[in-house]
Amino acid sequence: MVRKIIFAVIAAISIVAGVSIVLVTPIGSTVEPVVPAQVTNMSTLIATMVAENVPLQMDNGGVVVGILSQPFFSVDAQVLNAYGEDIQVFEYDSTDDALTDIDESGLTPEGQFQSARGAIMVTWIDTAHFHQTGHLIVLYVGSNSDITTMLEDLLGPQIAEGIGAGR
């Protein structure tokens, strides 16, 4: 029974993360998941979420459930669905590119956008949580504490928070 459970967990990790894992271990030994030291890109974000047992929705054999364009950032978001809610992940070629896009968008600590390109005033439907780490800018609009805690744990503190219409 123990072998079946271990195999099921390893199989789920290899399907979600898109990697192959070969498990060779003596009977009675334990296997600890390897968690990346730091989330820097989409691959390490997904691998870390899987290692932390975050429930991710699968779509067409992967965890990216959609692509979304936002007017305030220069790249499209890859949408992940965790705990039944969407998380937008904007991935750049480098950390410098991500930081430059934040600067050029004019993202304020209040989750609005004031730049030389003009102002974009957003009426958020719920609280908007912005994080930046490595090549990523991550946006979650919602109030699920499982998600906000997970994002803080994996990505560090928010860089901006927009207050939702009903808040």
All structural domains of the chain with their residue ranges: 56-162
Q: How far apart (Å, rounded) are the C-alpha atoms in residues 157 and 116?
A: 27
Q: What's the pTM value of the predicted model, to 2 decimals?
A: 0.76
pLDDT of residue 94: 96
pLDDT of residue 167: 57
pLDDT of residue 156: 93
Q: How far apart (Å, rounded) are the C-alpha atoms in residues 19 and 86?
A: 23
Q: How far apart (Å, rounded) are the C-alpha atoms in residues 118 and 165?
A: 22
Q: What does the block give as tokens for 136?
A: 């990523």
Q: What does the block give as tokens for 145?
A: 């504490």
DSSP 3-state of 129: strand
Q: What does the block give as tokens for 119?
A: 């102002």
pLDDT of residue 29: 46
pLDDT of residue 23: 36
pLDDT of residue 35: 40
4-7, long-range: CB < 8 A, 24+ apart: 6/31
pLDDT in tens, the chain (167 residues): 333 333 333 333 333 334 333 334 345 544 444 443 589 999 999 999 999 999 999 887 788 999 999 999 999 999 999 999 999 999 999 999 999 999 999 999 999 998 877 788 889 999 999 999 999 999 999 999 999 999 999 999 999 999 887 65
- CB atoms closer than 10 angstroms to residue 63: 24
β strands within the chain, DSSP E:
64-68, 77-82, 85-91, 113-115, 118-120, 128-133, 136-141, 160-162
Dihedral (CA of 137, 143, 145, 147) sign: negative
